[in-house]
Structure 1
Amino acid sequence: SIEFDQVLLAENEGSFSIGSGLENARVSAKIVSHLKGDKVIIFKKKRRKGYKKKNGHRQQFTKIEITGITL
């Protein structure tokens, strides 16, 4: 499980707290899975020179489930 202590915005019974008043706010979460995003293909080419370069990248993500919020 993970705990986030840097909370920027919170809502409690219709009143919103932004920024500085959230020193004691915490969000606890559970890691569900690690996954990768869609492949992004980078293709570079220079015309008439025979130069071409193909590269790919897949961003890694972590899926979490929020288990509790304390203000």
Structure 2
Amino acid sequence: MAPGVSGVSNRAVHEICGELNFTHYENLVNLHLLLNRGRFQFIGLPLKIRGGTGSPVRAIAVFE
């Protein structure tokens, strides 16, 4: 559900991913609704949070 160790702050994981220019998404829900519906493009629209290491996103699946 989230990178890192369960029960421990994810801040270090977010900082490391940021340093590596790696974007990850966690705690997405209702993914089972995408099964067996074909290929789709994922679009994640984050909030711009100055100095933040993460943000809520509006997650969108656009099916072909």
The structure with the larger Rg is 1
TM-score range, shorter chain: under 0.3
**Normalised TM-score (structure 2):** 0.27
**Normalised TM-score (structure 1):** 0.26
Q: Which has the higher contact order (CA 8 A, sep 6+)?
A: 1
Specify which structure has the higher proportion of strand: 1
